[in-house]
């Protein structure tokens, strides 16, 4: 297949909402719902405003946050094997859900380019800025790779791909992002992904594995306090975008690991009894002293759990790739 690499393909922007509601209205609704619960709860997807994304970049470079380095090692030490699998049946679309800066995926892209594999790269991300930056950086670093960036939510992007691209697909869902979902939601998420794929397609999913509790705990409660900042930034975002009146130093970050369930949970705890007004919602929320807001779950898995999860959703394990210490796995599934 001949590709014209000098042609700049415009990015596909699926981020505009069809139903007339704004992102801000959805944020306000979710915050209002979450803070009205008996056990207060805020969705972790709202961590990632500009400041939050920067803090997450910092987290990935922390000595305690082993996940990113471990997955990088998995990719680096298995790139030949992974890429020859991907490319074993002709042309494919490499679809990167939540691509961001594609730091890890670039290892595969370089390998695939070196192998002269027939593919194009379809990074998907809700951040238009990130997709523009990634397209530009790939244009200089790997001009031989055809790139079609998509701005939008995962399922909108997958639906667009299903309707517009008939060729084989390899979907990447990296970085233990699956770990943020509750069990039921992870099943629904993977079943949805499966519904946009066909026999012969593949999924490569990055998962953090069960390990010594102290190691996990430190990854979410680092000495420099960056994770605490990241968690508290959610309140800062509510203040800025919704006119909230949270006083940040009247809350603290608290993280705890449950080894029975394999779940790392993060909270913001009110240090005293207080009322917090949020202008955009026009409501005041009461906090008792030591009352918590649950902000995030990060699941750690046994490979057997991942195998069962895959089976429930129409995926069979083809290969499990590990780092040397078996802290992290990238699991290659085929569509069953
Ligand atoms: C981006 C969801 C994989 O759960 O490890 C890092 C986010 N939260 N430190 C994770 C996160 C606190 C991260 N994921």
Q: What is the pLDDT of residues 132-173, one digit of tens each?
A: 999 999 999 999 999 999 999 899 999 999 999 999 999 999
The predicted pLDDT at position 23 comes to: 86
Q: How far apart are CA 114 and CA 147, in angstroms?
A: 16
User: Which stretches of the chain are assigned E, i.e. beta strand?
Assistant: 12-13, 40-41, 92-97, 119-125, 146-147, 150-151, 168-173, 202-208, 251-258, 263-270, 274-278, 283-287, 292-299, 315-322, 328-335
The predicted pLDDT at position 6 comes to: 46
Residues in a beta bridge with 333: 203, 317
Distance from residue 56's CA to the centre of ligand 1 (Å): 8
The predicted pLDDT at position 129 comes to: 85
Distance from residue 217's CA to the centre of ligand 1 (Å): 12
The predicted pLDDT at position 239 comes to: 98
Residue whose CA lies nearest to ligand 1 atom number 10: 298
Which atom, in ligand 1's list, is nearest to the CA of 298?
Answer: 4
Distance from residue 208's CA to the centre of ligand 1 (Å): 10
User: Tokens representing 292?
Assistant: 């918590």
Residue whose CA lies nearest to ligand 1 atom number 13: 177
* Mutational test site, ligand 1, from 176, 189, 229, 297, max ligand atoms within 8 Å of CB: 176
Which atom, in ligand 1's list, is nearest to the CA of 56?
Answer: 6
Which atom, in ligand 1's list, is nearest to the CA of 176?
Answer: 3
The parts of the chain modelled with pLDDT lower than 70 are 1-9, 18, 20
> Which uninterrupted H or E stretch holds 50?
helix 50-60
Distance from residue 186's CA to the centre of ligand 1 (Å): 15
Q: How far apart are CA 238 and CA 28, in angstroms?
A: 8
* Mutational test site, ligand 1, from 43, 56, 256, max ligand atoms within 8 Å of CB: 56
The predicted pLDDT at position 9 comes to: 61
Q: Are strands 283-287 and 328-335 parallel, antiparallel or unpaired?
A: unpaired
Of 120, 195, 121, nearest in space to 162 by CA: 195
Which atom, in ligand 1's list, is nearest to the CA of 296?
Answer: 8
Q: What is the pLDDT of residues 290-312, one digit of tens each?
A: 999 999 999 999 999 999 999 99
Give ligand 1 pocket residues (Cβ under 6 A).
59, 67, 175-177, 179-180, 220, 227, 230, 296, 298
Give the burial string for 232-242 (b: 16+ CB within 10 Å, else e): bbbbbbbbebb
Greatest CA separation found in the chain? Answer: 66
For residues 297 and 180, the answer to whether their CB atoms sit within 8 Å is: yes
Distance from residue 177's CA to the centre of ligand 1 (Å): 7
Judged by DSSP in three states, 206 sits in strand
């Amino acid at each position: 297949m001949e590709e014209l690499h000098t042609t700049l393909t415009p990015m596909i922007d699926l981020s505009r909402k069809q139903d007339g509601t704004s992102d801000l209205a959805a944020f306000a609704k979710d915050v209002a719902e979450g803070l009205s619960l008996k056990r207060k709860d805020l969705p972790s997807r709202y961590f990632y405003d500009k400041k939050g994304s920067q803090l997450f970049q910092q987290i990935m470079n922390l000595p305690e946050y082993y996940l990113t380095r471990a997955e990088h090692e998995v990719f680096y030490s298995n790139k030949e094997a992974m890429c020859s699998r991907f490319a074993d049946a002709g042309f494919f679309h490499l679809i990167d859900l939540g691509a961001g800066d594609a730091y890890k995926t670039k290892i595969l892209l370089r390998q695939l380019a070196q192998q002269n594999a027939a593919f194009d790269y379809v990074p998907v991300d809700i951040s238009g800025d990130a997709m523009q930056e990634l397209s530009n950086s790939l244009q200089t670093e790997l001009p031989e790779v055809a790139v079609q960036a998509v701005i939008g939510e995962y399922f909108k992007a997958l639906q667009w791909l299903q309707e517009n691209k008939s060729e084989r697909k390899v979907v990447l869902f990296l970085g233990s992002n699956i770990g943020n979902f509750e069990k039921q939601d992870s099943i629904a998420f993977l079943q949805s992904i499966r519904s946009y794929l066909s026999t012969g397609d593949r999924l490569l999913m990055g998962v953090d594995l069960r390990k010594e509790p102290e190691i996990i705990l430190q990854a979410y409660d680092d000495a420099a306090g960056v994770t605490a900042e990241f968690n508290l930034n959610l309140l800062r975002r509510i203040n800025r975008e919704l006119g909230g009146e949270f006083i940040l130093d009247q809350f603290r970050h608290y993280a705890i690991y449950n080894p029975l369930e394999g779940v790392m949970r993060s909270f913001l705890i009110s240090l005293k009894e207080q009322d917090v007004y949020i202008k955009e919602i026009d409501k005041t929320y009461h906090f008792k002293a030591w009352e918590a807001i649950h902000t995030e779950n990060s699941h750690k898995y046994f490979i057997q759990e991942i195998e069962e999860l895959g089976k429930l959703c129409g995926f069979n394990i083809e290969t499990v790739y590990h780092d040397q210490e078996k802290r992290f796995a990238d699991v290659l599934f085929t569509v069953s």
